[in-house]
Structure 1
Amino acid sequence: MSALAWAADEAALHRRPLSIVHASVWERFEGDIPAEDLPEGRTEAAALQEIITNAEARARQRRPEVRVHAEVLPGEPIDVLVHVGEDAFALVVGHRGHDALLRRLFIGSIGLGVAERAWCPVVVLGNSAPERPSADRPVILGVGEGTDAGAAHVAFALQEAQARGCDLVAVHARSRQETRQDPPSPGSPAADALLGAALPDRAALESGVIVHRQVVDGPAHHVLTQAAHNADLLVLGVRHRHGMVRRELRPTHHAALRHSPCPVALVGVPSPSPR
């Protein structure tokens, strides 16, 4: 339900329609049978319809201005969600897990599978997601080696900050190797150059977003999850593997999905061509 609420708010922010999808393998075999025509004891279809009807009602109540469409589709959940998300602005899924410990250890097979295979941006929410979008909380952008101003996740982060009217904080976690090559100083030339290439002043001016650039020494997963406290969204780029549909989720992505205190957006970026 938190993912549904967040998706409704996101649709309202960007003035886009909202599609609510519940995927069911059972539906593939039984077909689309109206609940009133079900024989006694056959309740699966009615239960599915109740889920999607309640979800649609919740979304309409939360954001009456958003055009909402809801449906149950037959098929494996990951396959269905990846397919319907091919041309989507974003695909929003929630955490799976029965208690706080499980939520910290696992993000759920469906959430992980969608994050690995979807071509559109995927937003994964935990139970600590903010109640409403806020201009008082920034959008956090993770900046790594090879990030440039044309990268899809940079554009997505700017767009999200612009829609919220909030600041954008670009964060680069400097590794030990980088620290040895570029010793700590008030202004780290190499890291500053990396952040400047990812978010030049021109891009900030054109978007109207106030951009802050931070260089923090330490492991990327720790730096980014700490930066995400009191943030509205954490945006990370994910490279597609050469010749494969799957994205290359690295330890930093897995750690962010498990431990981030705010929603995490994974945005696909092309891998550099092999030489």
Structure 2
Amino acid sequence: MTTTPSILVGVDGSLASLHALDWATALAKKCGASLTIACSYSLPTFAAASLDGGYAALDDSTIQEGARMVLSSAAERVTAHGVPVSAQIASGDPAGALVELSQGHNLVVVGTRGRSGFAERILGTVSSALPAHSACPVVVVPGRDLKEDEPLPAITPVNRIIVGVDGSDSAHGALHKAVHFAQLFDAELVAVTGVPVTSGSGILAWLPAAVDHEQVLKDIEGGLNTIIDAVEDENPGMTIRRIVLDGTGAELLTEFSQAADLLVVGSRGRGGFAGLLLGSTSQAVLHHSQCPVLIINKKADQAEPLDVSPAQNQQPE
């Protein structure tokens, strides 16, 4: 018996979360998946201590009702596209709630900007909790330029996928997930390796000046070809473009995001992609990418992948 794939979406009523919801809805429609939309809330820690009204008036039931309204509106948005949807309210920190709810789902989708919860908590200093600890892959959909007085942009079809590869186990898992998504969308797949050779910083900064940097790049290109050749052999009929450039992973992925429809990265890497989702490099990619970013951690690498039936083999609308 086949289990229906399920996508979890964090919503908070903001434009960014609605845009992420639209992206997830289009994907769910393509895959024949169902959506679970979740809204998390928490009371201010000093609410109960207020003696003169103020936050004391915002009791648990009042905030729950606000969360229910957010979920009801989001559910109507999904139902309009014919996608099965269920809703869930969770109390506590949004990132922690989504990590817990991620078990039993195939994918989690969130936006980059939110209302008092998702943006700063999921993409702030403590934000790596969701991408690093989720039980399934996480997609972060950018929403930085959305305006209240303008309609949300249409969802862009996924025609080109960029994956960051650096030879690490994490990047290897990301590469295999990128292959799956490329097959899912019938999209072009491009593997990118970033090595800061001439920048004077990074993993090659210690090399003597006499070292042939061009040869270093060629050697790394040879290593990338070995990895990609093996993956292509495992997936007959698939061709993966390979690109090796001088630069850091954050710089290159951010630049490539302008010409990509989906970036795929691992949560821990080496070289140009070292520390993704753990420090400033990851924050740069997540905050500045022009397209959705799919993050794979070790646990997510073992999650059941989304699949698509022949009857639904069409690009998201």
The answer to whether the superposition gives a TM-score over 0.5 is yes
2:88 paired with 1:76: no
- Pick closer, same or farther for the CA change 1:208–1:86 going to 2, 3 Å: farther
Q: CA deviation at 1:163?
A: 1.3
The number of residue pairs the alignment matches comes to 237
Which residue identity does 2:213 align to in structure 1?
A: P
Output the CA distance in 1 between the equivalents of 2:219 and 2:169: 13
Aligned residue number for residue 213 of structure 1: 242
1:59-138 map, 5 Å? 59-61=78-80, 63-64=81-82, 66-96=83-113, 108-111=120-123, 112=127, 113-127=129-143, 131-135=154-158, 137-138=159-160
Deviations 1:247-269 (A, max 9, x none): 96243222101111111111013
| C-alpha contact 2:131 2:277 (8 A) present in aligned 1 | no
Aligned to 1:145: 167
Q: 1-side partners of 2:170 and 2:111: how far apart?
A: 30
Alignment of 1:39-50 (within 5 A): 43-50=62-69
Q: Secondary structure at the match of 1:152?
A: helix
For residues 220-239 of structure 1, what are the structure 2 equivalents within 5 Å? Answer: 220-239=249-268
Q: 2-side partners of 1:88 and 1:200: how far apart?
A: 31
1:257 aligns with 2:286: yes
Following superposition, the deviation at residue 215 of structure 1 comes to 0.7
What secondary structure does 2:176 align onto?
helix
Give the secondary structure class of the aligned counterpart of 1:96.
Answer: coil
- 2:232 paired residue number: 203
1:96–1:77 CA distance, 2 compared to 1 (3 A):
same
Of 19, 26, 35, the residue aligned with 1:9 is 26
Kindly indicate whether structure 1 or structure 2 has the higher relative contact order, using CA contacts under 8 Å at least 6 residues apart. 2
Alpha-carbon distance in structure 2 between the residues aligned to 1:20 and 1:207: 37
> Which consecutive unaligned segments of at least 5 residues does structure 1 have?
27-41, 99-105, 241-246, 271-275
Instruction: Check conservation: 1:134, 1:166, Cα contact below 8 A.
Output: no
State the shift of 1:175 in Å.
2.0
1:124-161 per-residue CA deviation (whole Å, 9 max, x = no partner) reads: 121169732425x3101001132589x32112111111
Question: Following the alignment from structure 1 to structure 2, what is the Cα–Cα distance between the partners of residues 248 and 51?
Answer: 29
Q: Letter of the aligned partner of 1:162 in structure 2?
A: Q
Provide structure 2 residue ranges, at least 5 long, that are not aligned to the other structure: 1-17, 44-60, 146-152, 198-202, 270-275, 300-317
Query: 2:89 & 2:257 partners in 1: Cα distance?
Result: 34
Identify if the C-alpha distance between structure 1 residues 7 and 204 changes in structure 2 by more than 3 Å, giving closer, same or farther.
farther
TM-score by length of 2: 0.65
* 8 Å contact from structure 2 (residues 167, 224) kept in 1: no
Q: Equivalents in 1 of 2:35, 2:284: separation in Å? A: 29
Aligned CA RMSD, in angstroms, stands at 3.1
What is the alpha-carbon distance in structure 1 between the residues aligned to residue 180 and residue 192 of structure 2? 17
1:166 aligns with 2:187: yes
**What is the CA–CA distance in structure 1 between the aligned matches of 2:240 and 2:144, rounded to whole Å?**
25
Q: In the alignment, is the contact (CA less than 8 A) between 2:137 and 2:297 conserved in 1?
A: yes
TM-score by length of 1: 0.74
Alpha-carbon distance change, 233 to 182 in structure 1, aligned in 2, over 3 angstroms: farther
Distance 1:228 1:184 in 2: 26
Is contact 2:41-2:63 (8 Å) kept?
Answer: no
1:178 Cα offset (Å): 5.0
**Pair 1:248–1:139, CA change in 2 (3 A):** closer
Please point out which of 264, 267, 270 is paired with 2:296. 267
Q: Judge conservation of contact 1:139–1:233 (CA < 8 Å) in 2.
A: yes
